[in-house]
Amino acid sequence: MINLTVNGVQHALDIDPATPLLYALRNDLQLHGAKFGCGLGQCGACTVIVDGEAVFSCLMPVSAVGKRPVRTIESLGTAEHPGPLQKSFIDHQAVQCGYCIAGMIMRAQALLERNPRPTERELLAHMEPNLCRCGTHTRILAAIRKVAHLPAAGATSASSQGAVSHGGTQ
Ligand code: FES
Ligand code: FES
């Protein structure tokens, strides 16, 4: 039996200890925010927060989670009452297909909880592992900057083009 604490709720799951956390979240707990993109730790669509750190849940077996709390996008807000990052993404229309967005928000959430006032350099470095194949990076970064109290002008800087800038595969 695998015990997981997800979004503040304890679960006992009768699953293989090698099951990726992403599969447990989606298939056993019906939390579908985190997405399967590559399954290889290369896109970030599956990003959730484990004990305060952004992790690729496709790579983490449930046996490796232990007692550490897991949080998914579902913990941040609802459609009626979105959390600050969710609201900023909506306000900036920072979405195209939407596949990467839950992972982007959870990675940004992990940063802002640890460091509510990151520098532009810290923001770009932190977001670098997560990819958006739709090219929505400029709006994604603008949405995060708003919550991070960073100047919006950074959205047009050449330095922003390198972060979260790769087109992922399906
Ligand atoms: S699905 Fe986990 S990194 Fe791509
Ligand atoms: S909005 Fe489509 S992958 Fe990012």
CATH number of the domain at 152, please: 3.10.20.30
- Provide the number of structural domains found in the chain: 1
Atom of ligand 1 nearest to the CA of 36: 1
Its domain, for residue 10, covers 2-157
The whole-number pLDDT of residue 70 equals 98
In a domain, 23, yes or no: yes
In a domain, 112, yes or no: yes
Q: Is the CB of 36 under 6 A from ligand 1?
A: yes
Looking at residue 26, the DSSP 8-state letter turns out to be I
In a domain, 164, yes or no: no
Q: What is the pTM of this model?
A: 0.90
Atom of ligand 1 nearest to the CA of 43: 4
CA distances from 70 to 14, 107, 134, 167 (A): 18, 13, 28, 28
The whole-number pLDDT of residue 164 equals 53
| pLDDT bucket at 148, cuts 50 / 70 / 90 | very high
Three-class DSSP labels, 43-76? CCCCEEEECCEEEECCCCEHHHCCCCCEECHHHC
Nearest CA to ligand 1 atom 3: 41
